[in-house]
Structure 1
Amino acid sequence: MPTPGLMFVGSRVLDPSKTSDATSNAFYDKEHLPDVLDHGITKVALRYKNTNAESPMPYVALYPLEDASFLQSPDLGKLVEDTKMSKTFNNTDIYEHIHFELRGYEKIQTFEGYGQADKSGKERGQTIVCVAMEPAEGQDHEFDEWYRKQHLDMLAMCRGYRRTTRYKKLDGQKPRYLALHEYACKPDELPGDQIKQVVATEWSQKIIKESLVFDRDVLELVQAQGDTSLNL
């Protein structure tokens, strides 16, 4: 049975003096997302804007995959080749205008918030707290136990929490672990007071402080295409 995966693609304009944010968004939303969907590798394409204006990756596109092995197959190269020429950019190579950072993951856990299991993607949270982590050396098991036995149960008590989807990088590069925490609110409405309490537990502080990498971004949904009833 195939293991579900995620194609995670960060992007930024290479030269803002030549390519505006509006042009980049038009390319992505009107051309690129439909192209990826037309190739049949995913049934839903989601695009987010990073709330951190200083982020090197101001936009993120998420493509859930039924089979993570696609990300290590020649079919990925074919997708890149088939979608690299852009009408938005006068039939030139998109890599001359936009920098992409592709990360491939396999899914390791889906955790639904209380009363959320029967809700479709059409009711998805508008905000994702995206956390990439690398646990301390030799602590993968405790890291996973922390998520499964404490952290997610506590997050589920926060206002607006929908679900968490967890992934592990296929190429083994650090940080290997990714957690996407969905909330049904705008970024500035996140329950920051409650989240602070969740990460203040003794176990949470141990895991976070000992982690080799802890990167946190807050992403706001700006585009959803394809079968939007599907969740990550």
Structure 2
Amino acid sequence: MSEGLLFVFAEPGRAGDAEFHDWYDNEHAPARLSVPGIRSGYRYRALDGQRPGWLAWYELDLAALESPEYEAVRVRSPRERSVVERLDVLDRRVYEQIDDRGEVTVAPPVVVSVALSTRDPDGLDAWYREEHVPLLHAMPGWRRTRRYRRTGGSGPDLLAFHEIDSVDLFAQPLYREATSTARRERVMREVTARERRVFGYHNTVRVS
């Protein structure tokens, strides 16, 4: 089985916050957790002042997304069609895991997603494995880093998904070191697209 991530940005728009959250928490997200192979789901709110302001992410076996059960829950109810039509953003991406470092956590307080496309994927991978991730994980509070390759949806090709204790880590000397080395500068010269987002925990998806 291939370990995967279903990753969804959303912005309520004309649906409004109250209706958006009620739909997501009581219909949309619980339906996905009812599918065999989708093991957990979490919702996070933006801490970086950017839009879209909401992220939902689900840990799963990628085969679950090809199952009849998943196809059934993707058939939209009349209410879901109404809400989706009024959202400003519903950006769904699917990723296959290529690396996992650190401790397993449940509902980390903060997640940092860094999506990249590059002309040199091998060089980027080596930098993450040999320098960047070890430097980040030398900091107490930098819990886990998983890296993924996009297999569905739009956006940059690769994703680094970090689980951390607090945004205060960004002010630490080790963080500044991890993000300002000469090797990083060489790697980043080959990057053609970059999307960095920071989100804080909102809730855990429950099956209704």
Q: TM-score, normalised by structure 2?
A: 0.87
After superposition, the CA RMSD in angstroms is 2.4
Secondary structure of the residue aligned to 1:27 is helix
- State yes or no: 1:134 paired with 2:134: no
> Does the CA contact (< 8 Å) of 1:208 and 1:214 recur in 2?
no
Contact 2:31–2:73 (CA under 8 A) maintained in structure 1? no
**Equivalent residue, structure 1, for 2:19:** 23
Q: Is 1:145–2:141 an aligned residue pair?
A: no
Partner of 2:55: 60
Cα distance in 1 for partners of 2:153, 2:204 equals: 29
Call closer, same or farther: CA 1:97–1:5 in 2, change over 3 Å: same
Q: For structure 1, which runs of at least 5 residues remain unmatched after alignment? A: 228-232
- Pick the aligned partner of 2:149 from 164, 168, 172: 168
1:34 aligns with 2:25: no
Question: 1: distance between equivalents of 2:39 and 2:71?
Answer: 19
* Alignment size in residue pairs: 205
For 1:200, the equivalent position in structure 2 comes to 180
Match of 1:155 in 2: 136
* Counterpart in the other structure of 2:97: 107
* Cα distance, 1:72–1:104 mapped onto 2, change above 3 Å: farther
> Which of 169, 172, 191 is the equivalent residue of 1:190?
169
Q: CA deviation at 1:151?
A: 0.8
Q: How many Å separate the matches in 2 of 1:22 and 1:111?
A: 37
CA spacing shift, 1:206–1:75, aligned 2, 3 Å: farther
Distance 1:85-1:97 versus aligned 2 partners, 3 A rule = farther
Which AA in structure 2 matches 1:5? G
The percentage of counterpart residues that share the same residue type is 25
Normalised by the size of structure 1, how large is the TM-score?
A: 0.78
